[in-house]
DNA sequence: ACTGCCATAGTTACTGAGTATACATACTCG
DNA sequence: CGAGTATGTATACTCAGTAACTATGGCAGT
């Protein structure tokens, strides 16, 4: 349920219609998260049903606006940190864990393969960031790239740690 | 599509029935990822439809086994690193990005709130890991905890970096 | 012996996330 | 002027995930 709140956030900048919400959302995320139009409209339908937005159908196009409820919901989302939530299912983690079930050696191979790819991916991103980033990228894009790189670094560190733990038990 | 492959991975350990697949999967992930039974069976239905597993209905309970196709698919999944994939939608990132759209100050408040919570969460996990971990936890649980802590650290570093970038543009 | 609880085993119906595609109109570039 | 592209909306579909139900067998306590 993140797109839902994302759309509310866009609408907090003022009423707009579906297509515009989509493009605004994509721009806010520096273009990394594309939205399918269909998803926007169905999500808006649900938001309307739940009293978070209202629809003005009278003009040419359908214009959505935030309601009081919607604003409160949005404010809660921005403030609230997800303390108790179950950790998001992570594909890399799942791969290693299931591979581990099939034996230490298999897990080590999976770790190695992913480390190689992740490393080169990270280097590419670093280079791109150094060369073009500061000149061409918006603040949003820079922030997104920071996140992607830090995430990749953290994944790599984790792979190393997994390997260490596996070798300790051999 | 991670549960799908997760179930295949469990089945690669030998034929078993739905409920057992569920419990095995949960055990493999150190108990952090619970599966709803319904999801297991519907996913197995799709896997059967796609020729990844076969169902033996003759006995008391329904026993699923991997097919050739299923094994190949699974091997591909374990080997292949997701190079070109779109970055996973991350709730924290989305919060900060949309908040940024509503103004620098708002973004700074959101960052600050999340940093506080994340920091204490991380400390809790660190303490738990130091005190109980090595004695009671399985290898899977330890590995999962590693991932959660590294992820939290990376998120914190990212929040710091966001703040720095925001203050640089003020 | 009975009762209630828990684990095992499976089914069904539902919501929500996400994709593909169809169908308009309008602008714009060669 | 026509082809392509941007804007705008709608609908049908698959997959992910949850809730709630049935049913059976064991076993713990009274």
pLDDT in tens, chain B (170 residues): 789 999 999 999 999 998 999 999 999 988 888 899 999 999 999 999 999 999 988 777 889 999 999 999 999 999 987 766 667 778 899 999 999 999 999 999 999 999 999 999 999 989 988 887 677 778 888 999 999 999 999 999 999 999 999 998 76
CB contact under 8 A, A114 and B81: yes
Distances (CA, A) of B66 to A141, B55, B62, B70: 43, 9, 14, 6
Residue A117 CB contacts under 8 Å (≥ 6 apart), including other chains? B81, B83
Best residue of B93, B113, B156 to probe chain A, by most A CBs closer than 10 Å: B93
The CA–C1' separation of A10 and D21, in angstroms, is 41
Chain A residue with minimal CA distance to B167?
A: A139
- B12 three-state secondary structure: coil
Q: Which residue has the tokens 């649980």?
A: B141
**Residues of chain B (86-145) having a beta carbon less than 7 angstroms from strand C:** 89
Chain A residue with minimal CA distance to B121?
A: A83
With cut-offs at 50, 70 and 90, classify the pLDDT of residue A9: very high
- B60/chain A closest Cα distance in angstroms: 27
Residue B49 CB contacts under 8 Å (≥ 6 apart), including other chains? none
CB of B88 lies under 7 Å from some atom of strand D: no
Q: What's the confidence (pLDDT) of residue A83?
A: 67
CB contact under 8 A, B97 and A28: yes
How many CA atoms lie within 13 Å of B79's alpha carbon, on the beta-carbon side?
6
Query: Under CATH, which architecture does the A3-79 domain have?
Result: Orthogonal Bundle (1.10)
CB of A42 lies under 7 Å from some atom of strand C: yes
Q: What tokens appear for B111 in the block?
A: 């960052």
Task: Report H helices in A12-138.
Answer: 18-28, 37-49, 68-79, 91-101, 104-131, 133-136
How far apart, in whole angstroms, are the C-alpha atoms of residue B153 and residue B149? 6
In percent, how much of chain B has pLDDT > 90?
67
Sheet strand arrangement including A63-66: A16-17, A63-66, A53-56
- A23 nearest nt, CA–C1': D7
CB of B46 lies under 7 Å from some atom of strand D: yes
The CA–C1' separation of B127 and D23, in angstroms, is 44
In percent, how much of chain A has pLDDT > 90?
68
The CA–C1' separation of B47 and D15, in angstroms, is 12
Expressed in angstroms, the distance from the first to the final Cα of chain B is: 42
**Segments making up each domain of chain A, as ranges:** 3-79, 91-168
């Amino acid at each position: 349920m993140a797109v839902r709140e994302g759309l509310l956030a866009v609408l907090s900048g003022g009423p707009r219609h579906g297509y515009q919400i989509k493009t605004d959302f994509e721009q806010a995320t520096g273009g990394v998260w594309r939205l399918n139009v269909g998803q926007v409209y169905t999500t808006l339908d649900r938001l309307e049903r739940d009293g978070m937005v209202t629809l003005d159908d009278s003009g040419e196009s359908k214009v959505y606006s935030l309601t009081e409820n919607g604003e409160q919901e949005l404010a809660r989302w921005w403030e609230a940190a997800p303390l108790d939530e179950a950790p998001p299912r992570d594909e890399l983690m799942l791969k290693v864990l299931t591979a581990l079930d099939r034996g230490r050696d298999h897990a080590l191979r999976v770790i190695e393969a992913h480390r190689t790819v992740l490393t080169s991916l990270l280097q590419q991103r670093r280079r791109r960031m150094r060369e073009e980033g500061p000149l061409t990228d918006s603040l949003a894009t820079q922030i997104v790239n920071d996140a992607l790189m830090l995430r990749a670094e953290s994944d790599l560190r984790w792979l190393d740690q997994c390997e260490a733990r596996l070798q300790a038990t051999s």
